[in-house]
Structure formats: C-alpha cells, structure tokens
Structure 1
Amino acid sequence: MIKIATAECFTHGKIGRELHALAQGYEGNFGREYVKNLRSYGNFDYDNISVTCSLFIPTIEAVVKILNVKNPPKPKELIKGIKVYDEEGDKAVSKIMAQAVKDLSDCDIAIGTTAGIGRGGICVITDKYIITTTSDVYSDLRENNSEELFKRSENGIKKALEIVLLLLNNNIDGISSLNNVEIIKNENID
C-alpha cells in the first residue's frame, strides 16, 4: 500500500480529497472531480494507494503548530495570519510543508502547496524524488481577485495530481515534460 499525505494551502485540501476518491473508487457526486482518464497515465492499480491525511494549512501558525516546523521562512506579509510569500518563497515553503507532513505521517508520497504572490509552489516528495513546480497561473493573494485565485488553485490541483499519477506510473519523463518542473533524485536510493 502506498500512503499519501498532503499539507495544502492554495489548493484547499482538494488534492488529498481527489486522491482519496481515487483510492476508494468513489463515483458520482462523491467521486473524482479532476481526474477523468486514468488509463492515459498508465496501468497502475489505484487500489494500492491510501490517503493518510489531507491538511489545509493556510496560516504560518499552522505550519509551526500543526506541521511542527520550528523556524519557517518569514512571509513577506500576513493576511489574518495567512502566509504570503513570493514565488521563490512559495516553492521553498511548499517543500518544507511536504517534508513536514511526510515526517509526521510516515507516508510514501507527500505533497505540499502554498501560494501568495506569483504562480505558487507545489512540491511532491518521495524517498527517491523531490519534485518542485508551480501552477501555470499568476495571481496575487493580496489583491483578493477571487476568479484569478480560483484559476490558480484549479491549475495547481490539476498539475499536482498529474505529477502524482505520472509518478505512480513511473513516468518521470512525463513529469519532466511539464512546465517549470525541477526533479531532484536521491542518488542513495535506486
């Protein structure tokens, strides 16, 4: 069984919820919303995944108290406690969040997301890979443009899910072909 855990901000826990619906085989209103054609990713048996937890972590306080991150990078700004980083900060903090939820849950695949100013940060961590990227949609949380923020969130959800599904199907080349993706391989693991 492959265990998955998420610590999400701008994707509002929807990555974890989608993976849970996939793992459980739910259909209809309780089923998948974002992933329709699973066979386009490969022949992985999705009955072999389980979502350990899916956390919505928008505030810096939650990063510290829930994820047990001792000294997270200082945000550029706080909006009612919500962390606002620039794009590079978001990429770094998404990695911190993914690693923290991996450590807390002892999962096989951890996902972290956060977005303030820019395209946001998405990180998927396994024992073998650290995959970092952004959404493909720019937005600024400080401007409170709901439609723009929604488009960035939806794009981030879809991109993170695509990475996870390609990863489960051992298609690293497929992940590499996506926009703005950095893959770091742990050379100590085959």
Structure 2
Amino acid sequence: MIRIATAECFTQGKIGRELHAIAQGYEGNFGRKYVKNLESYGDFDYNELSVTCSLFIPTIEAVVKILNVDNPPKPNKLIKGIKVYDEKGDIEVSKIMARAVKDLTDCDIAIGTTAGIGCGGICIITDEYEISTTTDVYADLCENNSEDLFQRSQNGIRKTLEIILLLLNDKFDEIEKQENIELNIL
C-alpha cells in the first residue's frame, strides 16, 4: 500500500480529495473531477493507493500548530492570518509543508502546496525524491481577484495530480520534460 498525505493551501485539499476518489474507485458525483483517463498514465494498480490525510493549511498558525513547524519563514504579509509569500518563498514553504506532513504521518508520498504572490509553489516528497515546481498561472492573493486565484488553483491541482500519476507509474522522463520541474534524488 502506498500512503499519501497532503498539506495544501491554495489547492484547498482538492488534490487529496481527488487522490482519495482515485484510490477508492469512486464514480459519479463522488468520483474524480480532474483526472479523466487514468489508463493513459500507465498500469499502476490504484487499489494500492491510500490517502492518509488531506489538510487545508492556509494560515501560518496552522503551519506551526498543526504541522509542528518551528520558526517557518516569515510571510511577506498576513491576510487574516493567511500566509502570503512571494514565489520563491512559496516554493520554500511548499517543501517545508510537504516534509512536515510526511514526518507527521510517516506516509510514502507527501504533497505541499502554497501560493501568495506569483505562481504557486508545489512540492512532492517521497523517501527517494523531492519534486518541486510552480503553477503555470500567476495570481496575487493581495489583489483578491477571484478568477485569477481560481485559475491558479485549478492549474496547481491538475499539475500536481499529473506529476503524482506519472510518479506512481515510474515515468520520471515525462516528469522531467515538464516545464519548471526540479527533481532531486534524496
């Protein structure tokens, strides 16, 4: 069994929900919303997948108290406690969040996402790999432009799911072909 845990900000737990629907084989209204053709990724047996938890972590307080992160990087700004970093900070904090949820749950694959100003930071960590990237969509949380924020979130969900499905099917060459991917062997 491969166990996945997520600590998500701008993707609002939707990556974990989609992976849970995939793992459980749910269809209809409770089924997948973002991944249409699982077979196109390979022959991984999704019955071997389990979502341990999917956390929505928008605030700095949640990073500290729920993920047990001592001294996270100071956000550029707080909006009602919501952490706002620039793109470089988002990449760094997505790694911190993924590592923290991996340590808390002892899962096999951990996902961290966060986005403030710029393209959103995404990190996927296994025992062997750290994959980090950003969304392909820019948005600014401080401007409160719902459509831009929605498009960045949708892009982040889809991009993360694609990377996870390629990872599960051992298609590292296809992961590395994607734009703005950093794949490190741990």
Which residue does 1:121 correspond to in 2? 121
Which residue does 1:66 correspond to in 2? 66
Unaligned runs of 5+ in 1: none
After alignment, is 37-46 or 57-66 more displaced?
A: 37-46
Alignment deviations for residues 42-68 of structure 1 (CA, whole Å, 9 cap, x no partner)? 100000000000000000000000000
User: Separation in 2 of the partners of 1:177 and 1:11?
Assistant: 23
SS of match in other structure, 2:11: coil
Alignment deviations for residues 92-144 of structure 1 (CA, whole Å, 9 cap, x no partner)? 00000000000000000000000000001000000010000000000000000
SS of match in other structure, 1:44: coil
Alignment deviations for residues 124-175 of structure 1 (CA, whole Å, 9 cap, x no partner)? 0000100000000000000000000000000000000001000000011111
How is 1:1-190 mapped onto 2 (pairs within 5 angstroms)?
1-186=1-186
SS of match in other structure, 1:135: strand
Richer in strand (by share): 2
Residue-pair matches, total: 186
User: Separation in 2 of the partners of 1:70 and 1:64?
Assistant: 6
Amino acid at match of 1:143: E
Amino acid at match of 2:114: T
Q: Following TM superposition, by how much is the alpha carbon of 1:26 offset from its aligned partner in structure 2, in angstroms? A: 0.2
Amino acid at match of 1:132: S
User: Structure 2-normalised TM-score?
Assistant: 1.00
% identical aligned pairs: 76
Amino acid at match of 1:14: K
User: Separation in 2 of the partners of 1:19 and 1:179?
Assistant: 23
Q: Following TM superposition, by how much is the alpha carbon of 1:178 offset from its aligned partner in structure 2, in angstroms? A: 1.0
Q: Following TM superposition, by how much is the alpha carbon of 1:39 offset from its aligned partner in structure 2, in angstroms? A: 1.1
User: Separation in 1 of the partners of 2:173 and 2:74?
Assistant: 35
SS of match in other structure, 2:137: coil
SS of match in other structure, 1:78: strand
User: Separation in 1 of the partners of 2:87 and 2:173?
Assistant: 25
User: Separation in 2 of the partners of 1:179 and 1:83?
Assistant: 26
Amino acid at match of 1:97: M
SS of match in other structure, 2:179: coil
User: Structure 1-normalised TM-score?
Assistant: 0.97
Q: Following TM superposition, by how much is the alpha carbon of 1:78 offset from its aligned partner in structure 2, in angstroms? A: 0.2
